[in-house]
């Protein structure tokens, strides 16, 4: 986690996102996208970088600009905001995923979101444990091998966790 920073995604990140996706193991690709990705399609790369009134995207980077994590949110149907996160295999378990989630939800809560949703493959035990830790009162519904998670955003906790002088709210 040391040496990483989280920032909004940019259109100029296309090649870095393409390399990031291609470098994920088949297992990690499947846990995030529910399928493997041999060569990331240009439409997928653009979708992961799109930011507008309905969508937000963040990346975790190393000092050289290499992307080691990606998180996105979009206005959802079952919750105010739905999220998806993926971290490069060698960086998993080092706190990057929770940092991406916290920053993403802080940005969403400033825009009025009060509930969060996500779909998790049932075999993704690491993320399901994280969900239980972050949102002990989350509603979890099993549906065709996935777990649909819905929880309330702890806005007070998110703002309290922001300890740095910088702000993730602006590009």
pLDDT tens-digit readout, 112-147 = 999 999 999 999 999 999 999 999 999 999 999 999
- Could you identify the residue written with the tokens 């297992």? 27
pLDDT at 113: 95
Question: What integer is the mean pLDDT of 24-47?
Answer: 94
Give the global pTM: 0.90
Cα(152)–Cα(131) distance, integer angstroms = 12
pLDDT at 75: 93
- Could you identify the residue written with the tokens 């998806």? 84
Query: Strand 139-143 and strand 146-152: pairing?
Result: antiparallel
Average pLDDT, rounded, for the chain: 91
Tokens at 5, concatenated: 């920073």
171 has pLDDT over 50: no
Tokens at 135, concatenated: 């949102």
Strand ranges across the sheet with 55-61: 5-8, 55-61, 67-75, 81-87, 115-121, 146-152, 139-143
pLDDT at 164: 47
pLDDT tens-digit readout, 146-162 = 999 999 998 776 666 55
């Amino acid at each position: 986690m040391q040496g990483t920073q989280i920032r909004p995604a940019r259109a100029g990140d296309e090649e870095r996102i393409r390399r990031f996706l291609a470098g994920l193991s088949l297992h990690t690709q499947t846990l995030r996208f529910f399928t493997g990705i041999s060569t990331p399609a240009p439409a997928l790369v653009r979708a992961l970088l799109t930011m507008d009134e309905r969508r937000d995207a963040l990346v975790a980077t190393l000092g050289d600009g290499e992307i080691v994590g990606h998180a996105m949110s979009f206005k959802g149907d079952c919750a105010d905001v739905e999220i998806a996160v993926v971290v490069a295999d060698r960086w998993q378990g080092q706190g990057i995923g929770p940092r991406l989630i916290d920053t993403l939800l802080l940005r969403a809560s400033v825009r009025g979101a009060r509930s969060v949703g996500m779909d998790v493959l049932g075999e993704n035990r690491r993320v399901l444990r994280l969900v239980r830790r972050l949102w002990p009162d989350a509603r979890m519904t099993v549906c065709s091998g996935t777990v649909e998670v819905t929880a309330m955003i702890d806005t007070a906790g998110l703002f309290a966790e922001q300890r740095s002088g910088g702000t993730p709210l602006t590009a």
